[in-house]
Structure 1
């Protein structure tokens, strides 16, 4: 059981930004301003002196709906982003403000929970068909069942605010400590365990059930899923959200709690060029996830049977984990369910539209990854048992490889913000802290009445820097012991 950490405030102190120094990206163009005010009439009226672009804003139809932007050049996307007009709300904030959160991963969920603690209502929109969670994905295959964590594998705790949350999850039976052996596996079968590391946590029944449980006891949070918000439009002092032409509500403030090309497309014509520019600067890796179930245990020989390993020296595999052991559900005659992740380089080399993966590519990647597992374990070619079940998935917007290093981003004039793990790192902890930070910042903004919005601008001009860590994310406190200081195990057949 984890030791209860000292109580501390959930808020992250965000200092007002000083006027930023001009950078290359800010000199490209100066965003125009579109001021929105509330009309006295209850009937919607056109915005006074709208630009041609504003006049053309309407609900999507089968004729004017944009096609998928896969393959669209980065230059054309950036050009559109830089030329859009900056929305500037001047209408008073409503007495009962509503916040729309687009994305139900850890950042979006913790943002909603933190807003509720401050008495602010929110609605979380998520595309998940099977549940919430974003990168906290778990796949369950009936009737056996076979259970796989196919995205986030585990998490660690280094911040007291996140530690307080995890203590609560432990008491509710949502998470437990993963005590199985993990470490680094070098090609040929050499395994180096992490002999000293902070506690590692996993969802009791997988990561997705943890995500689905977080909002179980809320009263001010509404969840809409599956829902793919396709457009955000400013009108009459509010943000109007829609899904392929279907209205999804009006909100005083919107939050983008996901990333990748879908978020870029959403922000491309939103009237939020400052936020859109920062999102465009984010670089994400692509990683293949291969789920495989074996009738028999994998032929791992040696003094230790590891449950998770960061793979080194193999082009096609960066991580492998035994879900059956991790969930404490494996009996001697039960199948083993393994999750394998590719390297980012292998993902980039075999990148295809994740919505439509060619059969030939899928077979090539699956074969290459299983051969990589074989090489990592030091097995002779063709000796790896054939899995009776496999599922391949391309994680197109996998992990951030650069970061602005701020807890959150908020545009007070446009009344919109961003939260996500990429703002602080690439872990569940950083996602949670980001969501909490943005929620508390927005609560302070709402309490101020929005009278001096410039005082609440955060992260709109921060420079990005490279982000280091494991290819499957960051785990604060988890470090590999030097080989000369730790025992190396040779896994042989």
Structure 2
């Protein structure tokens, strides 16, 4: 039995891990040079900054067991259970669940899941056809661990069930802008929601969540603002610098800025089902299959892996 998993984000890797543990031959194909998907990390002088997901929370016991393993390995740490909200010039504390972060960047969690798997990077799949087949090669099953619009781009029109599942997803874009400052001059806040703002949705103190105290902020932009500035990275950096300075009252400008564009940052209408698996042996999984969280992606991939292992094994 052979399965191809397309996409090496947390959902695809979790699915592949279950299948490999069940004795099934699995290849993971990833179009980018690294694993992780939106668990994305960019390095500045060797230091990582998270430019995709900001943190993760834990409420499921199976995922909690995975997280405890990451913590024991030094890959994950408890960060904070209280964020703040900025709105109309006011600041308010917002207690909530414990947020977890990763000292080496959230991508390190995906790299841990990928250890021992057969992963081919910079391999863009162009066609998933009945059979099923991946780019003309027959397999027993295919898993598409990616946003629905990306799945639709490769699914053959004859694969109606999988296309219907992927077509039901609506995604919002966002920019993640990393700003490095000469020193820390902002009030202690860890992470913040910026409510009702034209440009910003959130700001995270990356030095606080990483635990090294470095003067680095990462801001995320609204879907409407992003849609109007796709491809305009330099303009976005300048405008986000101004917006962050105004919200936090900063006296200094950043030394450097970097903007990463996410066309599919967050699903608008998550599914009530944990994954899709049809009679064509095409599966679809990811964080659109529930509340948009790292935990959802892991649970979706894990559940699909178990269902496929039961069907094939």
Do they superpose with TM above 0.5?
A: yes
Matches within 5 A, 1:85-484: 97-129=1-33, 131-142=34-45, 145-179=46-80, 182-188=83-89, 190-195=90-95, 197-216=96-115, 218=116, 221-234=117-130, 237-241=131-135, 250-267=138-155, 269=156, 271-300=158-187, 305-330=188-213, 336-350=215-229, 352=230, 357=231, 361-377=232-248, 379=249, 384-412=251-279, 414-447=280-313
Offset, 1:201: 1.1
Gap regions ≥5 residues in structure 1: 1-96, 243-248, 448-493
240 and 180 in structure 1: CA distance in 2 versus 1, 3 angstrom threshold: closer
Report the TM-score when normalising by structure 1: 0.60
Q: Distance in 2 between matches of 1:270 and 1:389?
A: 46
Offset, 1:204: 2.5
Q: Is the 8 Å Cα contact of residues 132 and 281 (structure 2) preserved in structure 1?
A: no
Offset, 1:270: 5.3
What RMSD, in angstroms, separates the aligned Cα atoms of the two structures? Answer: 1.9
Q: Is the 8 Å Cα contact of residues 320 and 339 (structure 1) preserved in structure 2?
A: yes
Pick the structure with greater CA Rg: 1
Q: Distance in 2 between matches of 1:115 and 1:308?
A: 37
Larger proportion of helix: 2
Which shows bigger deviation, 161-170 or 416-425? Answer: 161-170
Q: Is the 8 Å Cα contact of residues 314 and 372 (structure 1) preserved in structure 2?
A: no
Offset, 1:347: 1.7
Q: Distance in 2 between matches of 1:285 and 1:428?
A: 17
3-state secondary structure, aligned to 1:262: helix
Cross-structure match for 1:464: none
329 and 259 in structure 1: CA distance in 2 versus 1, 3 angstrom threshold: same
Q: Distance in 2 between matches of 1:424 and 1:180?
A: 22
Q: Deviations over 1:399-419 (max 9, x none)?
A: 00012210110112x111101
Q: Distance in 2 between matches of 1:232 and 1:313?
A: 42
Count of equivalent residues: 313
3-state secondary structure, aligned to 1:135: coil
Q: Deviations over 1:212-252 (max 9, x none)?
A: 11122x3xx31110211112234xx552336xxxxxx5421
430 and 180 in structure 1: CA distance in 2 versus 1, 3 angstrom threshold: closer
393 and 180 in structure 1: CA distance in 2 versus 1, 3 angstrom threshold: same
238 and 313 in structure 1: CA distance in 2 versus 1, 3 angstrom threshold: closer
